[in-house]
Chain A
Amino acid sequence: MSFPASETDLGAGVSASPTSLATDGGRSGGGRSRILRFAVPVFMLVLLVAAWSLYVAAYDVPHYILPSPRRVAEALVADWSVLGPALLVTLKITFLALLIALVGGVALAVLLSESRLAELALYPYAVILQVTPIVAIAPLILIYVPSTQAALLICAWIVAFFPVLSNTTQGLKSTDHNLLDLFRLYGASRWQTLAYLKMPNALPYFLAGLRIAGGLALIAAVVAEFAAGSAGAGSGLAFRLIESQFRLNIPRLFAALILLSMTGVLIFAVTSFVSHLLLRRWHESALKREV
């Protein structure tokens, strides 16, 4: 006697194999939903800019109060020689801070999760650094560090580093106990356990930390530059923003603001995309649910 139903065991797996996932997605209107995903936000944006434009024209709002989208666009082009380099400076600080935060955050997370002593000694200070508002620390750093660029970098790093550290530590520590036992049973070295088990397990946590850190690095770079800007030594977007405010050059202020938010959106998009690429095959968060 045989159990025909045992074949469903395999059958279920076949229907859930990755290829069929893709084709099913294509058939069940995946194309349409993709168009919608781009069309709706673009349409919203057009609507918003049109409303803004109409409002300024209808009420004859002076450009030093609220410039029309057209004026902002003109300022963006005309002042590019000022705004472009400023954008570059802000981007450089943000990404460099993020990079150091990633390397440092992961390295420290590994240290803290591998050594209880290091955790007891260092973690409280990481928390203190995190909970103290960066605007309050920035002036001190600006005094102690001779180069403004370096000071800004340190500020952005302090803020971006903590989410990476805390998330990665959490991920390293939440490794399945049975898998840890299995590694022990097979005589895995400490390094093998870290590289083949704990690190991959921490990846989704790390990537969540990365997404937060990316946004925070930009915010911190701007806030720190505000603090430094009053000292008159900045040339990033934040400094241009304040400068425009002083000079009542509102179109340029808007242009700088748009560049900043676009930078933020870009960082978010890039980090989300990287996260999706790394997790799409296996992590629940990146998988499409089929109904």
Chain B
Amino acid sequence: MLQSSREPMTQAAPLISLRHVSKRFANGTLALNDLSLDIAQGEFVSLLGPSGCGKSTALRIIAGLANASGGKLEWPSASGATPVAEHGAEISFVFQEPTLMPWATVFGNVHLPLKLKGVSRTAARDDVMAALDMVGLAGFADSYPRELSGGMKMRVSIARALVTKPRLLLMDEPFAALDEITRFKLNNDLLHLWSTFGWTVIFVTHSVFESVYLSNRIVVMAARPGRVVEDMTVDAPYPREEEFRTSSLYNDYCRKASEALHRAMEASEGS
């Protein structure tokens, strides 16, 4: 089996493998064209690209929330030929909006994934409180979402994603709507959790800085049609702390990623 090393393991069987995936919507939009991507166990991959390049669509296909029009999605490391749908239990999704149920308390919101699997409130209590503890919100279990700030709501959303102990965490621009200070804080928290638990993360962002800070691999996408134009490794050691943001290594990678993004945008306009 794979060890929880932080290095991408290209030689081992990837966790998920997208093979020539394309997606055409009913209105004719070709959102993804011939997308091939292997994601290794334990990787922190950022999908970076201009808006409309199909990042969300790719994530939804991986989550099983949308069907690919062509190509296929495989879970090679899973034993035998388990259908994709069965991996639902191992996937968590964090949306750009906190997407909390306003009528439920913080506890109720984090309990939701377990409740849907038939785990009662009492039985789930420890897991829910542990997840809230991870995001620093254990004291707010009985609060309602509207009593929380934007950053706290996002933390609840992350706690809900973590409560099922997922193998794969999909995040669709989760911090895009937050102010910079809160975003930096949540970036650090996320990295810390990731290094503790070693899940695989696919993180959608349109921020070059965020993608370099967080990930060990950046997949740059271009639009019309959505496709991968660059796949770069960020070879900087973890743990990454605030000093990393001011290091020259960080700057170099930001410049590289930024150039790649510009090329992607030119490619998008050219088509």
Cross-chain contact A9 with B149 (CB below 8 angstroms): yes
How far does the Cβ of A11 sit from chain B's closest Cβ, in whole Å? 9
* Nearest-CB residue, chain A, relative to B60: A181
CB contact list, A81-116 vs B, under 8 A: none
What CA separation (Å) do A182 and B152 show in the bound complex? Answer: 19
Which chain B residues in 47-87 approach chain A with CB under 8 Å?
Answer: 60, 63-65
Q: Which of A32-40, A249-257, A280-288 binds B? A: A280-288
From A1, A9, A192, B152 is in contact (CB under 8 Å) with: A9
Say whether B147 contacts A187, CB under 8 Å: no
Residue among A3, A12, A16, A178 making CB contact with B97, cutoff 8 Å: A178
Residues of chain B within 8 A (CB-CB) of A178 are 95, 97, 99
Is A200 in contact with B103, judged by CB distance below 8 angstroms? yes
B116 pairs with A188, CB closer than 8 A:
yes
A283 CA to B145 CA, complexed, in Å: 10
Q: Quick check: is A120 within 8 A (CB to CB) of the other chain? A: no
Instruction: With both chains docked as a complex, state the minimum distance between the C-beta of B180 and any C-beta of chain A, in angstroms.
Output: 10
Task: Give the size category of B's interface with A.
Answer: 35 or more
Fill in one digit per residue for B28-49: 1 if any A CB lies within 8 Å of its CB, else 0: 0000000000000000000000
Residues of A within 8 A of B101 (CB): 179, 197, 200
A1 with B89: CB separation less than 8 A: no
A283, B143: Cβ atoms under 8 Å? no
> Given A1-B243, A178-B99, does the pair A12, B93 have CB atoms closer than 8 Å?
no
In the complex, the answer to whether B103 meets A282 with C-beta atoms within 8 Å is yes
Report the bound CA distance from A179 to B101 in whole Å.
8
Query: B97 to A1, Cβ gap below 8 A?
Result: no
Whole-angstrom distance from the CB of A15 to the nearest CB of chain B? Answer: 10
Docked Cα-Cα span, A110 to B181, in Å, equals 44
A287 is contacted by which of B113, B145, B146, B152 (Cβ under 8 Å)?
B146
From B60, B147, B152, B242, give the contact of A10 (CB < 8 A): B152
Residue from A1, A2, A187, A203 in contact with B116 in the complex, judged by beta carbons closer than 8 Å = A187
In the assembled complex, B144 has its CB within 8 A of some CB on chain A: yes
Q: Which residues of B contact A24 (CB under 8 A)?
A: none
B99 pairs with A16, CB closer than 8 A: no
Give A180-201 interface residues, CB cut-off 8 Å to B: 181-188, 192, 196-197, 200-201
CB distance from A189 to the nearest CB of B (A): 8
Contact B91 A6 (CB under 8 A): no
Q: Contact: B243 with A196, CB < 8 Å?
A: no
A12 to B144, CA, bound (A): 14
For the residues of A in contact with B, the DSSP-based class is helix
From the candidates A6, A183, A282, name the one contacting B102 in the complex (CB within 8 A). Answer: A282
B146 A186 Cβ-Cβ under 8 A: no
Which B210-253 residues have a C-beta within 8 angstroms of A?
Answer: 242-243
Kindly state the separation between the CA atoms of A1 and B242 in the bound complex, as whole angstroms.
7
Which B residues from 121 to 146 make CB contacts under 8 A with A? 136, 140, 143-146
Check B144 against A282 for contact (C-beta < 8 Å): yes
Residue of B nearest to A287 (CB): B146
Residue of A whose beta carbon sits closest to that of B181? A5
Q: Is the CB of B152 within 8 A of A186?
A: no
Interface status of B255 (Cβ within 8 A of chain A):
no
CB distance from A287 to the nearest CB of B (A): 7
What residues of chain A lie closer than 8 Å to B91, measured between beta carbons? 185
Complex: chain A residue closest to B148, CB-CB: A13
- Taking a contact as CB atoms under 8 Å apart, the answer to whether A196 and B112 are in contact is yes
Residue of B nearest to A179 (CB): B99
A187–B117 touching, CB < 8 Å:
yes
B4 in contact (CB, < 8 A): no
Bound together, the chains give a CA A63 to CA B77 distance in angstroms of 93
Cβ of B194 under 8 Å from chain A: no
- A6 with B65, Cβ < 8 A, contacts A187-B116, A282-B144, A287-B146 known: no
Q: Which partner residue on chain A sits nearest B114 by CB separation?
A: A186
User: Is B185 touching A13 in the complex (CB atoms < 8 A)?
Assistant: no
Closest Cβ of chain A to B101, distance in Å, is 7
Identify which of B95, B97, B116, B185 contacts A192 (C-beta below 8 A): B116
Whether a CB of chain B sits under 8 angstroms from the CB of A17 is yes
Contact A9 B151 (CB under 8 A): yes
Of all chain A residues, the one with the shortest Cβ separation from B182 is: A9
Query: Could you give, for residues 17-43 of chain A, a 1 whenever the CB lies within 8 Å of some chain B CB and a 0 otherwise?
Result: 110000000000000000000000000
Q: Is A176 an interface residue (CB 8 A)?
A: yes
Tell me whether B93 and A282 are in contact (CB under 8 A).
Answer: no
Given contacts A6-B182, A9-B151, A9-B182, contact A185 B99 (CB under 8 A): no
Report Cα–Cα, A192/B89, bound state, in Å. Answer: 17
Which residues of chain A are within 8 angstroms of B113 by Cβ–Cβ distance?
Answer: 186
23 residue pairs from A and B, CB less than 8 Å apart: A3-B181, A6-B181, A6-B184, A16-B149, A17-B147, A18-B143, A179-B99, A181-B63, A182-B95, A182-B112, A183-B116, A184-B65, A185-B64, A186-B116, A186-B164, A187-B116, A196-B115, A200-B103, A200-B104, A201-B103, A281-B103, A282-B103, A282-B144
Given contacts A182-B99, A196-B116, A282-B102, 4 further A-B contacts (CB under 8 A): A179-B99, A182-B93, A185-B64, A186-B112
